Chains A and B, each alone.
Chain A
Amino acid sequence: MKQKYKKAVTDGLIFAILCVLVAAFLAPVAFVILNSFKGRLYISDAPFALPNGETFAGLANYQNGIEKTDFFRAFGYSLFITVFSVLAILFFTSMTAYFLTRVKSKFTAGLYYMFVFSMIVPFQMVMFTMSKLANSLRLNNPVGMVILYLGFGAGLSVFMFCGFIKSIPLEIEEAAMIDGCNPLQTFFGVVMPILKPTAITVAILNAMWIWNDYLLPYLVIGLGTKYKTIPVAVQYLVGSYGAKDMGAMMALLVLSIIPIIVFYLASQKYIIEGVVAGAVKG
């Protein structure tokens, strides 16, 4: 009885501490939302005060931020690049992983190790040469970005697909082959459906990274073009207007996290499972 009472008290205490922590975790987001509704000249006066009749600016900051960065266009390019890069990665790297696992030769083994090797190479190692190469190959547009992300995402994705394909018994595929399937039919009809859990993990890990990536689109596409993604647009606004228009910046920060939070709340289960699975395998 005493034991039970003690546990209830401890749990109550832990619950209270966790509540405080939740507030601390949400504070920066709340802070940005709060200030996004204040007139830009009032933000630095009393940054933690609620907006009142004098300082409330309605949606003026949002209008301003959207106009200055062409936010919806940036959102569109971010979405285009992320969706098509993830689709390309899923489609092509799963096929590559299948080939590398099923065809045993020195060449496939070497290629596999090259993909694994690429995972530990920091981006700074290749950023200068890669951006020059991308420019000379005219990859400085959204479609080119998809090709580059396929190349950059290949390491982790091939590695994860290979790990899973190794565990699929060969008999299933052999049966399909005997029934007259060619390798393409075998792969898409038999192997691909089994790969689904790994595919979800690969898709989530790549989507999170590509959506938020700043340096690759900045170096390849740059600030000067209309193809800015959201992180590039945020950096562009701050670089050119930051000190002058804090209101627009706050509004833009809020706008940038809304899509992520909506996506997160809608598919939280998959994201958390995918991240755990990815961490354990990676």
Chain B
Amino acid sequence: MQKTLKRYFPIFVLPTLIAFAFAFIVPFVMGVYLSFCSFRTITNAQFTGVRNYIRIFEDRDFLNALWFTVKFSVLSILTINVISFVLALALTRKIRGTNLFRTVFFMPNLIGGIILGYIWQQMINAVLLRYETTLVANAAYGFWGLVILMNWQMIGYMMIIYVAGLQNVPTELLEAARIDGANGLQTLFRVKIPMVMPSITICLFLTLSNSFKLFDQNLALTAGAPSKRTAMLALDIYNTFYGRSGYEGVGQAKAVLFFLIVAAIALGQLILTRRKEVEQ
């Protein structure tokens, strides 16, 4: 069977492979190479070694963006996961209106980042208007605005993953805990949380990678204002590419560094989960 199928390679694989090469393979390889070059358009690239990587640290933009991104990600991961887990607990109690609550909480997840960003920009500015200030007057407003926006968008998504996890906890286990005299908190920490560990891992990974790579929301909400102080990594890379002429190579070098950070996080997460799976 393999042999006959092999002959159908052009039909089964080639169309996907060609599109994949256009969208990913060729740009990726070119991107790695160009990060070692000085260029304005791709055709006049000149090899300059690691100069671009050194120039990244000429100013503090990249490090500021990295620090902002880390702060934002840590805070978002904590708040989103705690709130969505609590909501999931509430929605698995079989109270009235559960379906309606779930529908509403999940809805923001489907709205695109650009549109979400502008909705919240209008909303936050309307609130700040009472204090005669605006979102871009202070970097702290932008930071908290992004955290609130991210919570609004991701809580429902994480909540339904936790609901699915909690519903898979065997009822016999909960019964046994009750008969043994465990109270609500003991059941939560000794039975429910250990049983939904796989869901927690997934949610931590999703919130981490979504916060770390955030772009659209950042662009729409503050676009980095005031003076780049609310720009996250992805936006900083974008600005380096398209905002400053002569910095294309530096932008590409930043992008490679960004990729390496994201890959290291993904790999670390994978190793951690593998280890846990072995233990179980």
Main secondary structure of the interface of A (DSSP, over half): helix
> Does A115 reach chain B (CB closer than 8 Å)?
yes
Kindly report which residue of chain A lies nearest to residue B26, judged by CB atoms. A133
Tell whether, in the assembled complex, residue B20 and residue A130 are in contact, meaning their CB atoms are under 8 Å apart.
Answer: no
Number of interface residues of A (CB under 8 A): 94
| Neighbour of B5 across the interface among A102, A208, A235, CB < 8 A | A102
Number of interface residues of B (CB under 8 A): 87
Contact residues, B155-213 vs A (CB, 8 A) = 156-157, 160-161, 164, 202-203, 206, 213
Name which of B24, B93, B95 has the most chain A CB atoms within 10 A of its CB.
Answer: B24
Kindly report which residue of chain A lies nearest to residue B202, judged by CB atoms. A279
Q: Return B116 CB to nearest CB of chain A, in Å.
A: 8
> Does B115 reach chain A (CB closer than 8 Å)?
yes
Q: Which residues of B contact A263 (CB under 8 A)?
A: 110
CA distance A208 to B210 in the complex (A): 15
> Does B1 reach chain A (CB closer than 8 Å)?
yes
CA distance A265 to B234 in the complex (A): 33
Tell whether, in the assembled complex, residue B23 and residue A152 are in contact, meaning their CB atoms are under 8 Å apart.
Answer: yes
Q: Return A85 CB to nearest CB of chain B, in Å.
A: 10
> Does B142 reach chain A (CB closer than 8 Å)?
no
CA distance A154 to B15 in the complex (A): 11
Q: Return B108 CB to nearest CB of chain A, in Å.
A: 7
Q: Which residues of A contact B120 (CB under 8 A)?
A: 28
> Does A125 reach chain B (CB closer than 8 Å)?
yes
CA distance A177 to B123 in the complex (A): 61
Contact residues, A229-243 vs B (CB, 8 A) = 230-231, 234-235, 238
Contact residues, A98-152 vs B (CB, 8 A) = 98-100, 102-104, 111, 114-115, 118, 120-130, 132-134, 137, 139, 147-152
Kindly report which residue of chain B lies nearest to residue A11, judged by CB atoms. B95
Q: Return B12 CB to nearest CB of chain A, in Å.
A: 4
> Does A199 reach chain B (CB closer than 8 Å)?
no
Name which of B15, B22, B258 has the most chain A CB atoms within 10 A of its CB.
Answer: B22
Kindly report which residue of chain A lies nearest to residue B99, judged by CB atoms. A268
| 20 new A-B contacts at CB < 8 Å, known A25-B156, A118-B20, A129-B34 | A11-B93, A18-B87, A27-B123, A32-B123, A95-B11, A96-B17, A103-B5, A103-B6, A120-B263, A125-B256, A128-B255, A133-B30, A151-B20, A151-B22, A184-B8, A184-B11, A187-B12, A231-B115, A272-B106, A279-B206
Leading 7 A-B pairs by shortest Cβ distance: A151-B23, A212-B112, A47-B126, A151-B19, A130-B27, A126-B27, A99-B12
Q: B-side interface residues toward A, CB under 8 Å?
A: 1-2, 4-6, 8-9, 11-13, 15-17, 19-28, 30-31, 34, 41-42, 87, 90, 93, 95-97, 100-115, 118-120, 122-123, 125-126, 129, 152, 156-157, 160-161, 164, 202-203, 206, 213, 215-216, 219-220, 233-234, 237-238, 241, 248, 251-252, 255-256, 258-259, 262-263, 266
